Amino acid sequence: MPKVTLRQYIIYFRNEDEKLLGETDLPYMDISVYQKLFKIDSDNPMYDSYPIGQLEAHFFKDQFDYEFDLEKCCYFFEQSLP
């Protein structure tokens, strides 16, 4: 059976009214990297939403050149089946 690659993405909302502004797909990265970043146990498949703060924003900026405006928007890392 072929291995399924999960969809990994950032979803973001406007702080002012919590309106969904969009989603941005990320290049696939091994889940262990995200487990370490978000301090999640290695047996957790991370199918929840994980808030992105300053520390995580720096990681995504360094890895993917992704820009954040944490004053205007709230961001979350998510992954799901494609």
At residue 82 the predicted structure's pLDDT band, cuts being 50, 70 and 90, is confident
Residue 45 backbone zone (phi > 0: left; psi -120 to 50: alpha; other: beta): alpha
Tens-place pLDDT, residues 43-71: 999 999 999 999 999 999 999 999 999 99
- The reported pLDDT for the residue numbered 1 is 53
CA distance 21 to 9: 13
Q: Can you read off the two tokens belonging to residue 46?
A: 């991370």
In-domain check, residue 56? yes
Domain count, the chain: 1
Give the range of the structural domain holding residue 52, as residue numbers without chain letter. Answer: 23-80
- The reported pLDDT for the residue numbered 30 is 93
Region 27-44: mean pLDDT is: 95
- The reported pLDDT for the residue numbered 81 is 85
**What letter would DSSP give residue 70?**
T
In-domain check, residue 49? yes
In-domain check, residue 66? yes
